[in-house]
Homo-oligomer: A and B are copies of this chain.
Amino acid sequence: MAHRIQGVLSPVVTPFKRDLSPDPERYLRHCKWLLAHGCSGLAVFGTNSEANSLSVDERMLLLEALVQGGVPASKLMPGTGMCALTDTVRLTAHAVKLGCAGVLMLPPFYYKGVSDEGLYRSFAEVIERVGDARLQLYLYHIPPVAQVPISLALIGRLLKAYPGAVAGIKDSSGDWNNTKAVLDAYANSDFDVFAGSEVFLLDTMRAGGKGCITATGNVNPGPIHRVYENWQKPEADALQAGISATRAILQKYPMISALKAVVGHWGRDPDWATVRPPLVELTAGEQRSLVAELTAAGFDMPDLAAPAS
């Protein structure tokens, strides 16, 4: 499985026009910037992409726009997990057909307190219905938002039943003990573990993981990538401290709106700030203080204001 995607992936923020429709042009530009500046892959349609504020058709159109616009499908790991089985199957089959490297799959997240048996059936049904040997499924564990966790036992059962399809996990629990437990149990089973935040990137690499899929990859991909490529070198801890410090600044604000404000500021394109309800953009004051703090810390997004192609 040497061809599997590894390194730093960004859950790409989704630009909206003023009428709240998705903006494929700004989207393509940002995706190309990310790939040119440290991201080895794009986890489009993640939590930080406002993916769950998009319809199935909106996601499919955006994904096609990326591939047609020259983003290699081999770099793409779109989020395809929806509440409805039929939606998840439709999105997943579409991504596989386009040749995407993998899909990042939320569990169905409306019903709470569901059993591992029910979640197993959900994932199994999707794999069976998609029925394509190219499917590389990454489980998306994000209990603070989805409120539906993916347990160690569930991972084991899925890996045993579908060893070719179940490729890895993004752990966005924010709990290093959980990431460590997954790594200890399955890192030697052809199962690729990605930290859900760059704060855990170095620890994840040292414990046998494959990288991180992180919100701030949208704005700070270069420095995060340097931790990834130098994790075995003496300077790794200092590099890690640097990216954790940048994240600490961003985390003081609502993350998605903050990321969009930063892209808008460094790209000199303030319309980037637009979010879909139920999110709200940063206030002018919040944006000013965020930019001031980042600037004081030496943060930059090189080449962003110039067209990427």
Contact = CB atoms under 8 A, between A and B. Distances in A.
A119 B83 contact: no
Max chain B CB contacts within 10 Å: which of A20, A109, A118, A122?
A: A118
A129 to B, nearest CB: 10
Contacts of A90: 55
Given A110-B145, A145-B111, A147-B147, A118 B280 contact: yes
A87 interface: yes
Nearest to A121: B277
Interface string A104-135: 00011111101101110110010000000000
A145 B276 contact: no
Contacts of A83: 52-53, 83
Max chain B CB contacts within 10 Å: which of A109, A110, A112, A278?
A: A278
A147 B108 CA distance: 15
Given A84-B58, A85-B20, A114 B279 contact: yes
A110 B107 CA distance: 12
A144 interface: yes
A165 interface: no
Interface residues of A, number: 38
B114 A278 contact: yes
A53 B85 contact: yes
A145 B55 contact: no
Nearest to A56: B55
B55 A111 contact: no
Nearest to A59: B84
A189 interface: no
15 contacts: A53-B84, A55-B56, A55-B84, A55-B90, A58-B84, A108-B277, A108-B278, A110-B145, A111-B145, A111-B278, A118-B277, A118-B278, A118-B279, A119-B278, A121-B280
**Which 3 A-B pairs rank lowest in CB-CB distance, beginning with the nearest?**
A52-B110, A118-B278, A121-B277
Interface of A: 20, 47, 52-56, 58, 83-87, 90, 107-112, 114-115, 117-119, 121-122, 125, 144-148, 276-280
